[in-house]
């Protein structure tokens, strides 16, 4: 029986139908495959936080470490090396390479190591639009989109997008971050040898990193250079002159390490809590974030705290917060030595009994209610005062006789301020504290007569806000750390700046400032007088010297410094004497650290005087005789004050006087700190300074 053989005409017909089917299938696929929106991860950009100068980087926020740069800011050798390594036909192909695909398919069918056969354009499509694709259907879709991209974008655009998108290893996405990760320089500064090394390891950057597999990296580097010679990109002489460029040691990314970690954490919190930003916006939005932190002042704060003598106790905590009174902008903040080892911010999260830093609250309340600085009170000690269960004592046991409120403030006289608070009303003292900037939920802030002695435990940052309100003449600003946030288009999205609110009469604050100047000019904070310009403030020490403070200001800057010490069980404990200070009180190390910081922070600032006193000659109002004892106690037990030295310590860093330690605060302490004896009940918490 004769075998049937198809005719040539039939073969041609079937072949034509097959070609038509393929063309039809391709046409349908072309129409049905739009260019998708970019993959979110491919668009993610690192957000950078700057100091207030807008140029000094503080740190970064990133889910993916990427910083896109235009092609003209990338060394030409980078593109040449990448094309040699990844797609030699880049400038002649249409986005796909049939030869490359066929070669890869044949290799894969034979069971050899899988190959992709992708052009540079296809790799860009995969990373920018699709994410990783491995099956043949995905590769077909990838090829269709690559063809469309090639029609819509120039080769230069594709190359730029590719270089800004792909992963180069060491956590770096995009060539700019890769240049920094491998050679510590910008992509515009990469040499031919460096470009070839980075290009060579693109297929497996983590495995072929010279720090992981040096021999493979060198092999790939040689391959790239040899191809560049073959393609005429470089000459043989240029090739022969190249030496393998050893990259820098991989850097561990501890974005929150050191003292700046506290600042970055605060920036992030403000953006979320006040600015309404999402985590994704912060980590992937490529935002430019300018903080309020002055780099010179911040370094001065760190240096001042680090100037404490080595004899300081290991469990001593120190916080420093400095605020611009005219705006509420935080200019410097020390929240701890290292955010990675101690995440609790001693400036904004830890608390410590305020001690005599609370006396100005009662003073302002008195001035608002008809008292003047000339009003006189008996100062003998001990003294039984209404509302106090036990007699109130002065820290220095001195009876100064009948003294006015300036003298009582300068020397932090407990008995005078106990009488004053009873006469004015302790509820008014609380109300003044809240108006000045203390949150209403401050631990221990209660309307007891003894609240004037500072049993309440504020955050150091809140006390900085309070004293900034004084420095601003009675205008309170909400403090903030973010000056501006702009997106990649340059549009401003947020600022923490606020207009402020007048909460006290300027004349009242002027008079209160006169009394606080006396603290500096010859009182418990006299160390601060070496600042060499008008300054005012108040020292404070808590019960048993578990904490010590100095909060002070010049017209342009307010700063609070707090010391506290934490025991093994997390409770506050008496600050261990060190550096010639025994005990460590507000007038010792806290005042010294404040002064050291402020000397640097105020360099170049105009020397300004405070407003003049408004009531220099008004006749005294208020009690001038000994108050009657309270037959039945109505308040918590009165803490026995102990001496608060104001002399400078005898030892210290450099040739500067060494002050005694200040208020300790436990960073891990709860809102109401343990060991806060009498703190919530009103009579405790003050040693007089």
Q: Which residues are catalytic?
A: 86, 356
Q: Minimal CA–CA distance to 487: which of 286, 347, 675?
A: 286
Helix axis angle for 589-601 and 295-306, nearest 10°, is: 150
User: How far from each other are the two terminal CA atoms of the chain, in whole angstroms?
Assistant: 122
594 preceded by cis ω (within 30°)?
Answer: no
Measured distance CA(61)–CA(343) in Å, rounded: 17
Per-residue burial over 579-618, b = 16 or more CB atoms within 10 Å of its CB, e = otherwise? bbbbbbbbbbbbbbbbbbbbbebbeeeeeeebeebbbeee
The C-alpha angle 192, 180, 50, rounded to 5 degrees, equals 145
Give 293's contacts (C-beta < 8 A, 6+ positions apart).
51, 52, 58, 263, 330, 331, 332, 333, 481
Exposed e or buried b for every residue in 362-373, given b needs 16+ CB within 10 A?
A: bbbbbbbeebbb
- Quote the tokens at residue 217: 């990296």
The H or E element spanning position 483 is strand 482-486
How many secondary structure helices (H) and strands (E) does the chain include?
22, 17
State residue 221 phi and psi, 5-degree precision: -60, -45
Number of Cβ within a 10 Å radius of residue 543: 27
Sequence-distant (6+) residues with CB within 8 A of 546 are: 352, 353, 564, 565, 572, 573, 574, 575, 663, 664, 675
Look up residue 659 and give its two tokens. Answer: 């002050």
Distance (Å, whole) CA 409 – CA 75: 66
- Rounded CA gap, 393 and 407, in Å? 16
Residue 676 CA to residue 688 CA, distance in Å, equals 16
Q: Which three-class secondary structure string do you get for 411-470? A: CCCHHHHHHHHHHHCHHHHHHHHHHHCCCCCCECCCCCHHHHHCCCECCHHHHHHHHHHH
- Report CA 110 to chain centroid distance, whole Å: 56
User: How many whole angstroms separate alpha carbon 207 and alpha carbon 201?
Assistant: 8
Q: How far apart are CA 497 and CA 292, in angstroms?
A: 10
Q: Are strands 47-50 and 288-291 parallel, antiparallel or unpaired?
A: parallel
């Amino acid at each position: 029986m004769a075998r049937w053989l198809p005719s040539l005409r039939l073969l041609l017909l079937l072949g034509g139908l097959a070609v038509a089917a393929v063309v039809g299938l391709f046409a349908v696929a072309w129409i049905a495959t739009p260019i998708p929106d970019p993959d979110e991860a491919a668009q993610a950009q690192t957000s950078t936080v700057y100091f207030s100068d807008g140029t000094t980087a503080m740190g970064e926020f990133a889910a993916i470490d990427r910083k896109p740069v235009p092609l003209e800011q990338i060394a030409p050798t980078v593109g040449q090396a990448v094309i040699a390594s990844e797609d030699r036909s880049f400038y002649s192909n249409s986005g796909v390479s049939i030869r490359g695909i066929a070669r890869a398919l044949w290799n894969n069918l034979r069971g050899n190591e899988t190959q992709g056969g992708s052009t540079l354009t296809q790799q860009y499509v995969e990373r920018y639009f699709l994410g990783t694709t491995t099956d043949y259907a995905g590769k077909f879709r990838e090829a269709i989109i690559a063809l469309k991209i090639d029609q819509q974008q120039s080769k230069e655009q594709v190359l730029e997008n590719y270089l800004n998108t792909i992963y180069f290893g060491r956590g770096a996405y995009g060539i700019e971050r890769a240049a920094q990760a491998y050679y510590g320089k910008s992509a515009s500064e990469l040499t031919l040898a460096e470009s070839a090394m980075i290009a060579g390891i693109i297929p497996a950057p983590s495995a072929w990193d010279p720090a992981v597999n040096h021999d493979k990296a060198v092999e790939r580097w040689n391959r790239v250079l040899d191809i560049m010679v073959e393609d005429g990109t470089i000459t043989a002489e240029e090739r022969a002159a190249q030496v393998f460029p050893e990259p820098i040691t991989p850097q561990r990314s501890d974005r929150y390490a050191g003292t700046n970690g506290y600042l970055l954490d605060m920036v992030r919190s403000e953006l979320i809590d006040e600015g309404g930003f999402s985590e994704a916006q912060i980590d992937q939005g490529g935002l430019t974030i300018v903080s309020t932190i002055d780099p010179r002042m911040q370094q001065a704060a760190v240096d001042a705290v680090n100037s404490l003598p080595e004899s300081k106790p290991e469990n001593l905590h120190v916080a420093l917060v400095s605020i611009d009174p005219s705006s509420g902008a935080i200019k410097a903040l020390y929240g701890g030595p290292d955010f990675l080892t101690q995440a609790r911010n001693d400036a904004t999260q830890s608390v410590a009994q305020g001690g005599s830093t609370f006396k100005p609250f009662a003073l302002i309340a008195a001035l608002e209610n008809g008292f003047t600085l000339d009003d006189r009170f008996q100062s003998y000690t001990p003294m039984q005062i209404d509302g106090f269960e036990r007699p109130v004592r002065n820290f220095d046991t001195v009876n100064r006789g009948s003294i006015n409120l300036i003298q009582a403030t300068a020397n932090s006289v407990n008995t005078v301020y106990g009488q004053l608070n009873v006469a004015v009303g302790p509820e008014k003292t609380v109300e003044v504290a809240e108006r000045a900037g203390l949150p209403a939920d401050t631990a221990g802030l209660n309307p007891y007569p003894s609240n004037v002695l500072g049993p309440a435990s504020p955050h150091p940052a809140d006390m900085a806000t309070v004293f900034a309100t004084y420095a601003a003449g009675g205008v309170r600003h909400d403090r903030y750390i973010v000056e501006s946030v702009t997106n990649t288009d340059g549009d401003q999205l947020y600022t923490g700046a606020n207009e402020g609110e007048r909460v006290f009469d300027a004349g009242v604050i002027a008079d209160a400032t006169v009394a606080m100047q006396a603290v500096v000019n010859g009182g418990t904070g006299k160390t601060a007088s070496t600042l060499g310009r008008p300054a005012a403030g108040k020292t404070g020490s808590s019960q048993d010297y578990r904490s010590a403070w100095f909060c002070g200001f010049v017209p342009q800057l307010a700063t609070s410094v707090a010391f506290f010490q934490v025991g093994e069980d997390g409770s506050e404990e008496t600050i261990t004497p060190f550096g010639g200070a025994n005990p460590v009180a507000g007038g010792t190390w806290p005042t010294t650290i404040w002064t050291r910081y402020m000397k640097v922070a105020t360099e170049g600032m105009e020397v300004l005087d405070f407003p003049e006193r408004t009531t220099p000659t008004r006749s005294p109002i208020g009690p001038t005789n000994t108050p009657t004892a309270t037959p039945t106690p109505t308040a918590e037990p009165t803490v026995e004050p102990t001496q608060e030295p104001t002399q400078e310590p005898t030892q210290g860093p450099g040739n500067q006087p060494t002050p005694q330690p200040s208020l300790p605060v436990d960073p891990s302490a709860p809102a109401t700190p343990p060991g806060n004896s009498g703190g919530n009940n009103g009579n405790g918490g003050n040693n007089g300074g």
